[in-house]
Structures are given as C-alpha cells and as structure tokens.
Amino acid sequence: MEFLLDAERVLLALIAGAIVLMVAAVRPNLPADSAARIGGAIWRRFNVGAFAAVGLVVVLAAVRLADGDDQALVHVIGGVAMLVVLVVKSRQDAKIAAQVYGEAGQAEVDREVARVVPLVVATLVLALVLALGPA
C-alpha cells in the first residue's frame, strides 16, 4: 500500500507544480491584449487535469482506507475538500470567460480574477499539505 501513497503524493505534487508553473511562468508571459482570454483557456485545461488527478487521489486513498490504513482518511477528506475548491474555482473561471467574451469591462474581469486568486492559493496549499503531510 506504500505504492498507492507514493502515487497519491506524486499526483498532488503534479497539481502543486502545475499551479506554480501557471502563476510564475505562463500567466506573466501572455500577450497583454489577450491575456484574459488565453489565460481562461489554459486554466480550464488545468481544471480538467486537476479534477482527474484529485479524483484519482481520492480513489487511491479510499482503496488504502478499505485496506485498513486509517491515515488514508486524511487524503480522502483533503481530496474531497480540494475537489470542492476546484468546483468553485472552475465556476469562477467560467464566469470570467463569459465576461471576457461578453460586454463586461476590464474592471469587472479584474474583480473576478481577484476572486479566483484565493482559490488558486487554497488549491496549492491543500496539494502541498496533503503531499507532504502524514497520511
């Protein structure tokens, strides 16, 4: 069952690494005139990958929990919490995309982006805590 825990930690580290890559490398280098539109498309792809990875983490942790590893409950609960954060973040991203393609002004888009930032940070913190913490 150690292999399953290792796989969970790798998946969580991939999510955290993808967030750092998006925030530090991809987002700042987007063209200014289309940053919101391109960024929204990239974050949608991230959301899909993160949903799949976290879903797999929850399934692997549930297998460990069924095998009698009581500490796997941490990853099950943490994974479900991360899925909730990702659902909320995904809805915010969709709202931003609708505003970018609609008639919304830049101030509205910036306000919605500011609401997404804490969700990105929460996802990063959850991924790191679960990957590095005891489970």
| Contact between 76 and 48 (Cβ < 8 Å) | no
Q: How many whole angstroms separate alpha carbon 95 and alpha carbon 93?
A: 5
| Contact between 9 and 86 (Cβ < 8 Å) | no
Share of the chain above pLDDT 90, in %: 56
pLDDT, one tens digit per residue, over 3-52 is 999 999 999 999 999 999 988 887 777 777 776 677 777 888 999 999 99
Written as six digits, the tokens of 109 are: 């888009």
Report the pLDDT value the prediction gives residue 41, as an integer from 0 to 100. 78
pLDDT, one tens digit per residue, over 43-59 is 889 999 999 999 999 99
Confidence of residue 100 (pLDDT cuts 50, 70, 90): confident
| Contact between 89 and 113 (Cβ < 8 Å) | no
Long-range CB pairs of 45-49, under 8 A, 24+ apart, other chains included = 46/18, 46/19, 46/22, 47/86, 47/89, 47/90, 47/93, 49/18
Question: Of residues 119 and 102, which shows the higher confidence score?
Answer: 119
pTM to 2 decimal places: 0.87
| Contact between 126 and 78 (Cβ < 8 Å) | yes
DSSP at 35: H
Report the pLDDT value the prediction gives residue 134, as an integer from 0 to 100. 79
